[in-house]
Structures are given as C-alpha cells and as structure tokens.
Structure 1
Amino acid sequence: MDQLLVIMGVSGSGKSTISGLLSQMQNWPMVEGDDFHPAENRDKMSRGVPLCNADRMPWLSAISDHVNAADAGPIILACSALNEVVRGHLNQNVQRRCRWIYLQLPANILEERLLARKGHFMPVSLLQSQLAALEIPHDAIRINGEQDPAKICADILQNL
C-alpha cells in the first residue's frame, strides 16, 4: 500500500536520523521536510520567531507536491507535523495514507540535543514554543525516542 510514514516530533527528537536509518533499512525513499521550507521560514526561525500556520502552508504544499510526484510505494517523511492543521493539510493533499509516528522525548533531552547541534537554522530558544504547539495525534504510533536508533526503527516496523 502507498503510505506516507511521517516521523514527527519537535526539533531535536531525531526525526531526520530515524527517517534516514529507516529509509536505509527498508530501501524506502526519504523526504526531509526541512528541505522544503522557503527562505522566509528559515530566516524567521533562525531569528527565534516561531512559525504560524499561515507560514507553514507553502512548505506543506511543496512537500505534498513532491510526495505526490513520487513513484508508488511507502515514503518516509521527516516532518514536525506539530498540530492538527498541519496534519490535516497533509492528509487532504497527499495522495497516500498518512501514518503518524511520534518520537517522544523529555524536554531536557531535547534541549541537550539542540544545544549540541551545529549548523541548523532552528535555535534552542524555539523548543518551548514547539512543545506548547504540539498536539499529539490520537492515532499516532508513539515511540520512545531515547532508545538506540536501531531499536527505534525496529519498534516502528513492529507497530506498522
């Protein structure tokens, strides 16, 4: 079945790492959601200004267009997908079944990861706004993001 497996969570949760590893393990294509942010969004976030849903619409449309142009089969998307508006947009515009896989971690671990990360446009100062905006979908597969990446991927595959 054609599915879009959305590895979701706040910044620092490991979305890109887990998506990349899962992609390698299963030989499924991976889409890095951050690559589709327009320059205005990246600039805004780099200045510590949270995005609003209106800011996210061009980004989500670009992701949807890219996914819809892809070949049949599962696709993995690393995407924050923090709220129902974002997920609703993907559900309505992506021509695949969206599956939500939420990487759950405590705020202190997320902060440590963000402080250690270099060269990313997302500053640690936006973590609290992301946590406040987070609406975990009721149908998400919840995964303990503190585990070893291979274990996380195994848990994801077991739950699919």
Structure 2
Amino acid sequence: MNKPRIIYVMGVSGSGKSTVGSLLAKRLGYQFFDGDDYHPQSNLSKMSRGEALTDTDRMGWLKLLNKIAIENQEKGAIIVCSALKENYRIQLQKNLDNNSEFLYLQGSMKAISKRLAKRKEHFMPTGLLQSQFDTLEEPKNAICISIIKTPVEIITEFIKKVAPRK
C-alpha cells in the first residue's frame, strides 16, 4: 500500500474489530479510531437497555466517522465500526476519493455468540447480536476474512490482498 488509506474494519459486535483494527494500525503506522468511542450517549444508553439502533440513531454517528476519515485521509487511519448496511458504508466513504477499503470480519452467529458471552464490561448486550445479524447486508466490495483466523493471520491476509490495489 503506497498511498495512505482509510481502512474501515467492519462486522457485527464481537467479531474482533477493535483487536484487529488496533493491531493493523500499529502495523501500518496509522492512527486508530474505535467507532464505539464516538457514539452519542443516547445510542449507548439505548444499546445498554437491549434496544437495537435505528438508521436514524446511526446517521449522526456515521457522519462523524466519515468526518474523521476525511480529516485523516492524507495520513491514513483505521476506523472500526459495524458498517452493517450498504448505505452506511456509502456514507462512510463519502468524499474519500476512492481512498478507502473495508475489511469485513466474517463469522457465524454461533462463533460470535461464544465470544460475546466471555466479554465483560461492554455496553453491547449479547441479546442484540441477532438484531445485528438481521441488519447485516454482507458487503460486495470488501475484503472478507474469517474470524476463525488469528488477528495476525487476518492482518497478514488483508495486507496481501490490498497491496496490489492502487
């Protein structure tokens, strides 16, 4: 990857976005942004109550993540967020001049449920996972890598797949 890029690490809750994203940022020397840190309190409260977010709830959050991407496109950045729907991904790529990639961490409901059951102190209750899978529109223009692989294997495979792209 010659030119710095904006790389969105996407997937449902528990797919490993933050772990993979932070390691990828270190590997590439990019700044790391965890999308969860940018949710408004109203979204966090809603999810903590076990309520799924609506498109309206997510729109301001997606616009803010896109603004962060635009501000960092010259240096490159890793931004992790669920990006569950195609129209969310379109919003995230707005005004990025074909300078972004999506890394989709793909996993089954069963595998991710096991991961979430082990997580402590997270605002996203396990019960909302089904709503995320129901909302998920698998991306057509992303690099899809199975969460069965280790984070290092995922990063290595991603870099190999994206390197030839100009």
Q: TM-score, normalised by structure 2?
A: 0.91
Cα distance in 2 between the residues matched to 1:121 and 1:134: 19
Cα distance in 2 between the residues matched to 1:142 and 1:89: 20
- Secondary structure (helix, strand or coil) at the match of 2:127 reads helix
Correspondence 1:28-43 to 2 at 5 A: 28-43=30-45
Deviates more, 1:18-27 or 1:90-99: 90-99
Cα distance in 2 between the residues matched to 1:155 and 1:9: 17
What is residue 101 of structure 2 aligned with on the other side?
Answer: 99
Q: Which amino acid aligns with 2:22?
A: G
Deviates more, 1:148-157 or 1:62-71: 62-71
Match status 1:16 vs 2:18: yes
CA shift for structure 1 position 93:
4.8
Tell me, yes or no, if the aligned pair for 2:66 and 2:94 is still in contact at 8 Å.
Answer: no
Cα distance in 2 between the residues matched to 1:3 and 1:134: 24
CA shift for structure 1 position 2:
4.1
- Secondary structure (helix, strand or coil) at the match of 1:110 reads helix
Deviates more, 1:23-32 or 1:70-79: 70-79
- Secondary structure (helix, strand or coil) at the match of 1:48 reads coil
Tell me, yes or no, if the aligned pair for 1:2 and 1:96 is still in contact at 8 Å.
Answer: no
What is residue 151 of structure 2 aligned with on the other side?
Answer: 149
- Secondary structure (helix, strand or coil) at the match of 1:69 reads helix
CA shift for structure 1 position 24:
1.2
Structure 2 stretches lacking a partner, 5+ long: none
CA shift for structure 1 position 97:
2.3
- Secondary structure (helix, strand or coil) at the match of 2:72 reads coil
- Could you list the structure 1 runs, at least 4 aligned residues long, displaced by more than 4 angstroms after superposition: 93-96
Q: Which amino acid aligns with 2:86?
A: E
CA shift for structure 1 position 3:
2.1
Q: TM-score, normalised by structure 1?
A: 0.94
What is residue 27 of structure 1 aligned with on the other side?
Answer: 29
Cα distance in 2 between the residues matched to 1:37 and 1:94: 22
Percent identity between the aligned chains?
39
CA deviation profile, 1:18-51 (whole Å, cap 9, x unmatched): 0011111121111111111000000001111101
Q: How many residue pairs were aligned?
A: 160
CA deviation profile, 1:42-64 (whole Å, cap 9, x unmatched): 00011111011110011112212
Tell me, yes or no, if the aligned pair for 2:6 and 2:73 is still in contact at 8 Å.
Answer: no
Cα distance in 2 between the residues matched to 1:35 and 1:125: 21
- Secondary structure (helix, strand or coil) at the match of 1:142 reads strand
CA deviation profile, 1:100-141 (whole Å, cap 9, x unmatched): 111111111100111111111001000001001111111111
Tell me, yes or no, if the aligned pair for 1:68 and 1:95 is still in contact at 8 Å.
Answer: no
